[in-house]
Structure 1
Amino acid sequence: MKDVLELLEEIEEILETSAPVVLTTKVWVQPEEILDIIKDIRLQLPDEIQQARWIKDERQRILERTDAECQEKLADAKRQAEVLIENSDIVVQSKRRAAELMAVTEENCRQLKLRTYEYVDSILYNMQQKVDELNGVHFTDMFNKIETTFQDVGATLNANRAEIKELSYKTQMGRDEDM
């Protein structure tokens, strides 16, 4: 069986080869011959139309599927971008929080050092007070006694030297007899 295009070509050939009507642009054709071809075209058209409809529907289905896939990929890309942005926000927030924690920790360390210095200073101050107290109670008396002893020893030595000088003087003067 011929397809629709072949049948249309057959009609064209009939019209081209038919005898013209004098003084007009019309041609003489056998109506039965043209009607048979039109009948064949009508019989062929449902198959052709169905095939065209199927192709059109298939094309539409492919376009819709492609569009759905595109929309899905766009949505997926958007979700991934949101995740990246969210992760980026998380990173930024984490860095900010870490910086805050570091600042608080550094301040706590500084305060702890200051309290430690104050504590050590108070211990050293108390120790200094005790040393001064011990010095005042024990060493001052002891130094006073040592000083008195040295003064006594010095005085005795001076007296002994003076006596020796006197003896030496008398010896030089020839007065040994007093000895």
Structure 2
Amino acid sequence: MITSMELKVLNALDDLEDLIQNSKKVLGKVLLSEEVLLDYIDRIRTLLPEEVHQAKWLSKERERLIREAQQEAERMLSEAREEVKRLTDESELTRQAKESAEEIIAQAKRVAREIKSGAADFADEILGQLEASLNKSMSIIGKAREELHQSKSN
């Protein structure tokens, strides 16, 4: 069954199709007003499911999380290097400092990988759900258009 939102999208696409078919043609090209086309794009964009808007947000959020993870890893690496430098002047402490710094660096790298992997997995899961939802919507739209074309033929 077609939802009201899907019907509105179909109507907007049908209106745009009619506009193109009934527009003035010059040398085999269709002349359309930029303002009219932009209005149709805005109209269709507002009719898109919330999942599309969420996907865009998720993509930006994923990038932000990755960027933050990299910054945190760099901060931790910088702190580890500073700690190593401070401790290198002392003989026995130098060896211990190097071990400690290596542990901190390894831990920072593990944390960064985990954060990056988690953000990527989260975004992939949401995008997969969105893809499934959009595929379903596209299938419904295709069937509805097919029904419209069949009813026009009868």
TM range (shorter): 0.3 to 0.5
Normalised by the length of structure 1, the TM-score is 0.33
Provide the TM-score with structure 2 as the length reference. Answer: 0.38
Choose 1 or 2 for highest CA Rg: 1
Answer 1 or 2: higher relative contact order, Cα 8 Å, separation at least 6: 2
